[in-house]
Amino acid sequence: MKIVLFIILAIGLIVLFSRGSKKKQEENKLAKTISEVSKLLKIIDNNSKSLLTTADRKQLLYIAYICKVGILDRLEKCSWLDKNSLIGIPINSFDKAAITIAEGLGMTMYKLSEIVSNINDIGLENKMTEIFEKGKLFYEIEKEIPQNMLDLMN
């Protein structure tokens, strides 16, 4: 009888820790995505003072895809996370900064919309909207996005 109770307890602990670790994994993926997208947007924002190249515009579309899948869809899937939840954003190889998800959304989603708005290109704005609404362009980007960009979400 004691063995059976021990086994049940052990299984319960394994299930509990695996759920907890999955939550932590999703939080870490979200934090990494926010951090990496934020870095890319800073580079593009610095370059946007001059004329953006076609490659920069394509990269903005890839970033929109990553924001949709790696941030917004992940937040929707992870119902335990809310805008006030703290996540650790990697700032270098050893350190993390604790920010709220709302701050992370500002560093990514708001910054992306600000950059696109400042470019003043209605066509690009429409493409962004199509990606966020999972229109035809979303699926085209999904097929062509380079692996190194996808790695920003994992």
Residue 86's DSSP bridge partners are 100
The answer to whether position 8 is within a domain reads no
Q: Smallest Cα–Cα separation from 109: which of 90, 128, 126, 122?
A: 128
Q: What is the domain range of residue 106?
A: 27-153
Task: Confirm whether 34 is domain-assigned.
Answer: yes
- Contact of 134 with 67, CB cutoff 8 Å: no
Q: Is the pTM of this model over 0.85?
A: no
pLDDT digits (tens, 9 = 90+) for 122-137: 899 999 999 999 999 9
pLDDT one-digit tens code per residue, 12-66:
444 444 445 778 888 889 999 999 999 999 988 887 656 677 888 899 999 999 9
Q: Count of domains in the chain?
A: 1
